[in-house]
Amino acid sequence: MAHTLSAQKRIRQSEKRRMRNKSYKSKVSTYLKKVNLAMEENKPKDEVMEAYKNWQKVLDKTTQKGIIHKNTCARRKSRMMKRIKTMFPNDNSVKTKVEAKAEDTAKEVVEPVTDNTVDNVNTNTDAE
């Protein structure tokens, strides 16, 4: 047991945080099981994607709170999306955020910028 009051307080705080973090991690794994179950039962794409979106939401919240590292979160989402895409190979509606963003930027028409202002031209003809 710790001797100082501050050390005892840190022990209490870390125990509270451990229990809170455990709860969030448990919630993530519960939603992950729902996604895996939907995939194993060969549910339609809509149900699988709905389960994936719910899991992704919980995972992102857990990452925001600092319980899971952001790279770990990104890796898990990437791997799950890869599994979903192999399950629905001919379906082009299943897209990652990167693919959707690339498609959106390809659709945008870039217009040239025309600037009719004169750049620092000294029009003063009076010489001193």
Task: Note the pLDDT tens digit of each residue in 47-57.
Answer: 999 999 999 99
**Interval 17-63: pLDDT, tens:** 999 999 999 999 999 999 999 999 999 999 999 999 999 999 999 99
| Mean pLDDT computed over 77-92 | 89
- Can you tell me the distance from the alpha carbon of 96 to that of 87, in angstroms, rounded to the nearest whole number? 14
Mean pLDDT over 76-92 rounds to: 89
Distant-in-sequence, close-in-space partners of 59: CB < 8 Å, separation ≥ 6: 28, 31, 68, 73, 76, 77
User: pTM of the full predicted structure?
Assistant: 0.67
Complete domains list, the chain, with CATH = 8-94 (1.20.58.110)
The alpha carbon dihedral of 39, 45, 49, 51 has a sign of negative
Cα torsion angle, 44, 47, 49, 55, sign:
negative
> What is the average pLDDT value for the chain, to the nearest integer?
86
Residue 126 or residue 59, greater confidence: 59
Q: Are residues 93 and 45 in contact, defined by beta-carbon separation less than 8 angstroms?
A: yes
Residue of higher predicted confidence among 123 and 58: 58
